Structure 1
Amino acid sequence: MDNKMQAAIKSIKLDGRTYHNITITPTLINFFFGKNGVGKSTIAQQITDGSGVTPALSDYDVLVYDRDFISRNIREDAGMPGVFSVSEGNIEKQKEIDAKEVLLNDLGTQYKDKKSESDDKSKRPAALRSALDDACWKATATFRSDFPDTMKNKRGSKSVFVDELLSIAAPKECDVTELTALYATAFGSDTTIYPKLNPVNPIAIEKIAGFDLLAKAITSSADTPFADFIRAIGATDWIRQGHENFSHTAGDKCPYCNQKLPTDYEQQIASCFDAQYEADRQTLQSFKSLYESAANTVISTLQENANNQFPRNDFTEYNGRLDTAIAIVELNKSKLADKIAAPTTSIVIESIDDKLQEINVIIDTLNAAIDENNIIISSRQAKQEECKTAIWKHMAFLVRDDISSYQNSLKVVNAELQQLKIAMKKLIDDGNALKEEITKLSSKIVNIDSTMNSINKKLADSGFQGFKVQKKADDPNKYEIIRDDGSPAHGLSEGERNFIAFLYFYHKVLGRESADSTFRDRIIVIDDPVSSMDSSSLFIVSSIVRELISICFNNGSAAKADAPKFIKQIFILTHNAFFHKEVSYDRLKYYHCVNFYLIKKSNNVSTITLCTKKDPFSKEPAYEHNYTPVQNSYAALWREYNEVTSSSALMRIVRQILEYYFIQISGYEGQSLSERILKREDVFIRYNADGSENRDLLLSVTAMLHYIGSDTQGFNDGLNYVEGSEDADRIKETFKCIFTAMEQEQHYQMMIETSL
């Protein structure tokens, strides 16, 4: 609905006199309103001259009514060129014309049928496209939700979105999991380059010196009596441990039995353990230290890895394997401590190298994800484009069957439309040939009498007396204005001259310049036609202008297929608010083919405002609507509504507001308006303190609706509203409830606030 219909003149650039580089884009019917001197006539003059007008108007007759037209044609010393219209002529030629017109009508019927078929088929591409849009929109819903940044400026409209899908040359199926990961990195807010996890080397415990001693019982081979004794009782480890623990604190007494030790006790103890025994013990200590160092280094590295901050890596399996390795290491450490304490015992410790290998495999997988992330971050823009391309290709792949079906169907429809176009062109060519033959015949049987008679009838009907139009005696193809006694009509008033001029202009629009001229489509410009006219003349001129507007409107209405359409565009320029309203009030709602302009001038600079806006109170609040630049009377009614205290005066104002807003502007008919309001009787019902219904407002609104429609809408059923029968507060409450019932509270509130 936001698009205006284009007509013959698509644009007018105004850059002269009081205009400075202004371009307007007129539609079919164009109303311009502005005070005298603001620049209306400049627009009319430019259309006349064709200056600043796009495209050129060589295919049209441009007819302009303005002061120049009046000066050229209504002169006391010269006649007006005749306007030719069909008259009675030769019977045989008329029969020949009639026969050709029958053939022309037949061609017109055939063309109409072809056109109707073409129009129906012309809707098929849009229907096919709409079905495709719906199918693609549904099939890609998840992707539009999950990957919004790859579709910026494409998701707001189905048609724009599907246009993009249709542009994909090579649809390709992609792995959605991989697309999700790529999208998360390429379009995510995290742009960190993450460090990789460190793999670990195996410990290889079997290669650590002393590994073979773990399973071996380490004993002394000394042959002293004391050594033989402690070996015999199996107390070698006990004696060694006790000596190591207490020798520096026991003094000369045994720490176990508190008896005095022999003076050579230290020598006897030393003789119990030979050099090999001590060497093996030192090797065990060294093995323990080397193992624990290697294990601690590995575990530390693995624990540091577990603290890696890369958010998309799952460390559950990694941590499980690490916990197992730590448990084995701790158990091995405990066994080694026991072995050091009791060298004669044998132990077996478990290698964690197989666990480390498993952990390294996990590390490789986690590092691959980190590498992929870091590569994408390092080339973020390129990866975003790669992601966009992949996602659009994948979506195109998903809907490839729908697109293929659409394209095949569209190809068939377009081929059928092309055949219809060829057939229609032939009918047009044949019709044009017949029209040319009819034109040649008609040129022989037309005259200017019917135009003259029509002008004189209009003058008489309008109350103009004492003069009329007749053919000039010395030039029967021209008119002259004469008095009733046949003398030239000198001293016509400006209003009389203007009215005759406009009637003459009207017939020029409907007729032709000469008997043999071709009647061409035309563009009409009417500049301030009611200057110095009385109300009767203004009314007739308004009626004629509405007739011309209706002919032009037929070009923008599918329902007017058979109506005359020779006026291809019309421009009405006026400073008269009453005339503007009279000729435009019934065209305001036709947004697609009617423009309203307001012209103002300040500091000798003219500006033009296209009068369109979004109306939140209309049935289509999201779309642009026309509004008339002549609006003050409605606002004045609301101001009076707020100020008046008399119930009689208030009721008349309420009536005018409701009729203007709901009937003239909103387009309701009286009866349908009444029925719609009364359907919402709940709005008008109040409840008394005892819970019973109070229907006073409902009775009030019923009477008020009868009063509103009694004169103009024809739905009064005999009930009459008695002015002054209700107080002002009751009238205002009922009035407000009507807007509530019509769901127009916002309009009511806006007008109340702006009129305070």
Structure 2
Amino acid sequence: MNQLEIKLNSYPDRFSENSLNLTITNKINYLYGKNGTGKSTIAKTICDQHYDKYNILLFTGFERVVGENERLDAIALGTENTEIQKEIEIVSKEINEIYSEIDPPETGKQNLFSKLNVAIKNLQKHEKLLNEFYTNAARDIKNKKYDNVNIAPPSYNKENFINELLNASILTPEEIKTNSETLSSIEKYATKTFTVTNTKLDSLLNNINEILNSKVSQRILLKELEENIRKQNFAKEGFEIHEHKVDEICSFCGNQITDERWNQLANYFNDEVKKFELNIDQNINLCISNIEILKKTELIEKDNFLKQYAANIDKLNLKIKYSLSQYELFYSKLVESLKNKKRNLFEKSPKLEIEIQEDFSSIISEYETIIQENNEFSKNLNKEQEIAKNKLRYNEIQNSLNGINYTNTLNEIEKLKFIKNGLQDSFDQKKTQLNSKITIKNELILKTKDEKKIANQINKLLRQMGVGSFALELIENDIEGQKGQYKIKGHNNEIRPITNLSQGEKNIIAFLYFLLSIENPENNQKPKIIILDDPMTSNDDTMQYLMIGEIQKFSRKLNDSDFLLIFTHNVHFYLNVRPNTAIKYKINGEDKSHYIKFGNYHLFSNGTHTTIKKIENGKHDFITNYEMLWKELIFLFESDEPNLMLNVCRKISETFMHFTKKGVEAFYGDNLSAKKLFDVNQHSLDDFDAEQNGKTKFEIIDILKSLFKENNATDHFENYFKVK
């Protein structure tokens, strides 16, 4: 006998200790349990523990078998197609999200495309203004003239301007003037030498000081003139201005000058005086002569030089003028001192202390340097004019840049470039992602399978059961090549939107596909475990009976090496999916009951742990939903869960009132506290926040029993509530 061991030891927090090991010995098994009692956990455990020896086929609803294709407004049929369709839908959504960023947005909305477009336009606007500036500035510089000479060639354009930006440099007004003059200059070679008489002033000054330090000694003594320089000079001057003749009258005293007086004065002012005076006069004449020579000295003619040296020549001429004036002043002081000495021959004069003027050597050297530079410049005039043009042009470039605050303009453009490049990178990344997603989608589409045969069988079964509300219609020649996609055709042969397909309709399509696909040869390589995990999700009677009928037909064809486990929370489904429990079966020549032939299990929860009970005979089973409530109440009573018993008591009371047509007041009578008690916690079994009622399980059962007694239904109570 085949048996299936299911070890639930990994879930001690969910299953009671006596339910941690479940052994399935029947080929076909029916397991009933409310939601939350661990049905899906058991199914998952079977998959985890027996995948190596068995081909496990699990049905958990339409989600894994029927997928929605929003692009085609169709369904994807088949487990693989559905799984692939889920991936396709995810990728398609991602593709659409990318398109929503990189395609032009709706009016008034923003996305990556619009932000990039704005950034590009802002950058282009600023770059256009900058390029216009380059063009206009280049044109202005091309037409700019200094001294009627162009500073740029006729071909000068924007590119030339941009290439010279790094050379931009402002010139001073003086530099502009100099370079401008260079442009209009013609070759001039200066050859005239500057000449000036150079006198050794120190020797001359020494000679004059010797004269000043000398005096004339008298041969005879005139008492009236003795030791009186003023009188001596007065007498000498009188001697010189009067004539030695008879009857010559003295201009001072008015007396006649006698011969004796003439002889006395002649002896007093002798030849030594004359010789001394002659020496003085000669030196005076020398100084005056030098002054006259200096006055005739010609200044440097600047017209003999290039314009750019005119200022240098002017400066040099000022130096020459100054030096000449200083020379003249020097000689004039010498002349004045000699004249004073001539009037004071008979005593020593003070030494003359004056600064000796530098000679013209430095001026001549500077002049020769200017001549050399001028001539060299003339020799290289073409080259120098080109340099001058460049400097003036670079100056104009800098002026143009200053006019638009060029640095701030470049910074703004760099900022806009940074923004644009960041958005462009994001945009390019999105496009790369898009291409990758499209490739993934195409690869997924290639994996889809054509399920036309099974789809036709599903349509046939639906027609046989009288289901005309919908049928599957294959989509052929899909432009993306996707297979296994079906439109939903309504009863009027018009295509229905998949959004109008109910969960029950989706579920029956998925269920029929699941059963029909089991026959696929790929599933026959190993024994099979077929698990139907709560297959019934719809209250539609037609769908329920269609599903029940197909399960029963499938069960009859099941191989002995296979297992079928049907989990459900639906009492109606549990009761009707099974064969008639009263039928006897021949097993080894003996009549055996339904409970020997098939595995029947009930899963009860006490709120924290689930207990799995195998139903050995009919008296432990239930045949109605109402009977199931009593079974649950007994389980909770035996598990000592008084709080959870209240909700079941309420449902039992409501069901009893329903089929006896009694109202609340008639059923509860004066015992409204019982109704209040049963209504205290209308929670699910696993709601741990439920209020504690304070009643024991015995007190609760006594209250329920008293209600049935007051409604003349004590036998009814005792028939259902049978505990040890």
Q: TM-score, normalised by structure 2?
A: 0.33
Flag the structure with larger Rg: 2
Q: TM-score, normalised by structure 1?
A: 0.32
